Amino acid sequence: MDWATAASMATAVGTLVLALATFVSVRSANRAARVAERTLLAGIRPLLVPSRPQDPEQKVGFADNRWVRVAGGQAAVDVSDDAIYFVISLRNVGSGLGVLHGWRFDPDRLFAGDVDLHPPLEEFRRLSRDLYISATELGWWQGAFRDPAEPQFARARDAIAARQPMTIELLYGDYEGGQRVISRFALLPAGEDRWLASVSRHWNIDRPDPR
């Protein structure tokens, strides 16, 4: 073997070693970046559940100057000839600010195992104003039916009058508009005029579900 051939082989081996080192370094850097991204997202991720029974009562106002009071761990409904008002007392147990986007009503109680897929996003009603709940803090959701001719108005009115369990599904996400979640809440009659709130299922929209 002459020196030229030996030099060429040495150069080739060196290039191969450098390429492998670069590949390992890039792969390690990508892995570190993904870990950093997941850590960042986890730090701004909200998760809404019913508030605690010992949490204070909240007074929630609607655009038509209607006010509804809701106790900790409960929901509240208020029915008039022209509108039906809903409120749920919530707590954000996540680590980031929660921004509520929309809601969906069902006059029956839907259980966690009824369906594996979340409801279509187009079925959610957009909130008329932004609602924010800080991490680990108390807050609320509010919604209303205002058209007596709408089929959902009659269904909601009849379910409330019959004191039957109902379902409210909330769509929300982080303050950047990502990490959207759908949480399914049940409104359960308690006594003659109280409604307890419970949560049975959470769906991740913008990232993989753990199930």
For residue 39, count other CB atoms closer than 10 A to its CB: 9
Residue 176 pLDDT: 87
Residue 162 pLDDT: 96
> What's the rounded Cα separation, in Å, for the pair 81 and 103?
22
CATH of 48-204, one of 2.20.25, 2.60.40, 1.20.5, 1.10.150: 2.60.40
The full set of domain ranges for the chain reads 1-43, 48-204
- Is residue 134 within 8 Å of 92, Cβ to Cβ? yes
Residues in the chain: 211
Residue 185 pLDDT: 97
Residue 98 pLDDT: 96
Closest CA to 153 of 93, 77, 53, 101: 77
- Is residue 201 within 8 Å of 168, Cβ to Cβ? no
Instruction: Quote the DSSP letter at residue 97.
Output: -
Residue 133 pLDDT: 97
- What is the pTM for the complete model shown? 0.81
> What's the rounded Cα separation, in Å, for the pair 172 and 103?
9
> Each residue's pLDDT tens digit in the chain (211 positions)?
556 666 567 676 667 666 676 766 666 555 655 545 555 556 689 999 999 999 999 999 999 999 999 999 999 999 999 999 999 999 999 999 999 999 999 999 998 666 667 889 999 999 988 899 999 999 999 999 999 999 999 999 999 999 999 999 999 999 888 999 999 999 999 988 899 999 999 999 988 776 6
